Amino acid sequence: MTPLLCSAPAKLNLALEIRGLLPGGYHELDTVFTWLELEDLLEVQPAARTELVLRDEIARGARVLADEENLVMRALRSLEDQVGRELPTRLHLVKRIPAGGGLGGGSADAAAALLGVARAHRLPLSRGDLLRLAARLGADVAFGLDGGTARGQGRGEILSPLPPPPDLPVILLIPPFPLSTPEVYQSWDRLPDAARRPGRGSVERVVSALPSGRAEDLLEAVGNDLEPAAEALRPELSELRAKMLQAGCSVARLCGSGSTLFGLLGSNGDPAPVAARLEGLGQVLCTRFRRSPR
Ligand code: C5P
């Protein structure tokens, strides 16, 4: 059997609001996810024994290990638990999404592994089974099953599809330091009330802006409540955001829990000169929104 090739696109949060605390220490979110063209690739092939081979194409920054902790392996093990037998599989992961960046790379890999392994071994699992396993692997994994553009509520796993954003260039600035997701959420817990909700209303604004397809509506809408929490841990982030605006981005925001920042330009914007002005501040990637779901 030829290997199954599964795409694992990065995501960004066009809007992210924290609504409160959930039992178990998680935060109740209201967010709008959207897929990017930037992707990891996972090849899945039933084999005599399980192995995960990693080809690391990440230019700089945090590395990912091909061990049992890798979310691809954890996805495989969760499927084995679900069906009650071993599923020996050769998994080959081409890693391009920077880790520790808030771009959801690990979650995307886990979603691709759930879909790929279930298909390669023809497992009789329902959509609901996969969603349940996804939600247990991480808050963003359920979004990676269908992708596209969706509102995420609860921990981010209660999904409703939305129209795609306009076809815009996206500039990613990956600073030379990663951030840990739990540490950013803990930093949010320590913020004074007045600093807590800079993204207030961003979800409703983005949800209203998407159907028009107008870039200008979207640019005004984006926001992220985790920005001050990440900036409290790494004050350089607010300077980097200011530099993205000076370089010509119409808007610059934190991706998820960071440390990656994303910049958007108006519909006629040329990303190349803007990206060139950011060289030296971190790794700069130019990508676009991926406008269709899986
Ligand atoms: O689910 P995931 O592995 O992505 O989450 C990593 C950590 O981020 C969690 O252990 C939790 O500390 C924090 N988190 C949260 N609320 C969310 C998502 C993540 O507090 N909705």
Which range (104-113, 239-248, 266-275) has the least confidence? 266-275
Q: State in Å: Cα 230 to ligand 1 middle.
A: 14
Q: What are phi and psi of 185, to 5 degrees?
A: -65, -40
Are 94 and 174 contained in the same domain?
A: no
Are 174 and 152 contained in the same domain?
A: no
The pLDDT of residue 8? 98
Q: CB under 6 Å to ligand 1: residues?
A: 25-27, 29, 138-140, 155-156, 181-182, 185
| Confidence band of 268 (pLDDT split at 50, 70, 90) | confident
Are 182 and 219 contained in the same domain?
A: yes
Are 74 and 204 contained in the same domain?
A: no
Are 128 and 29 contained in the same domain?
A: yes
Look at residue 294 and tell me if it is in a domain. no
The pLDDT of residue 267? 80
Are 25 and 151 contained in the same domain?
A: yes
> For residue range 116-143, what is the model confidence (pLDDT) as tens digits?
999 999 999 999 999 999 999 999 999 9
The pLDDT of residue 59? 67
The pLDDT of residue 61? 61
Are 119 and 207 contained in the same domain?
A: no
Residue 204 structural domain: 169-288
> Is-catalytic flag, 11?
yes
The pLDDT of residue 60? 64
Residue with tokens 């605390």: 21
Q: State in Å: Cα 238 to ligand 1 middle.
A: 23
- CA–CA distance from 212 to each of 77, 207, 223, 274, 293 (Å)? 43, 10, 18, 26, 19
Considering its fold, how many domains does the chain have in total? 2
Are 59 and 120 contained in the same domain?
A: yes
Q: State in Å: Cα 139 to ligand 1 middle.
A: 6
We report the CATH number of the domain holding residue 108 as 3.30.230.10
The pLDDT of residue 1? 78
CA gap 95, 106 in Å, rounded: 10
Are 111 and 242 contained in the same domain?
A: no
> Is-catalytic flag, 146?
no
> For residue range 241-259, what is the model confidence (pLDDT) as tens digits?
999 999 999 999 999 999 9
Asked if the model's pLDDT at residue 221 lies above 70, the reply is yes
Catalytic residue, candidates 67, 140, 189, 193: 140
Mean pLDDT (the chain) is: 95
Burial class (CB in 10 A: 0-12, 13-18, 19+), 235: exposed
Share of the chain above pLDDT 70, in %: 98
Single residue among 161, 192, 220 that ends a domain in this structure: 161
Are 219 and 272 contained in the same domain?
A: yes
CA-nearest residue, atom 12 of ligand 1: 182
Asked if the model's pLDDT at residue 30 lies above 80, the reply is yes
The pLDDT of residue 67? 87
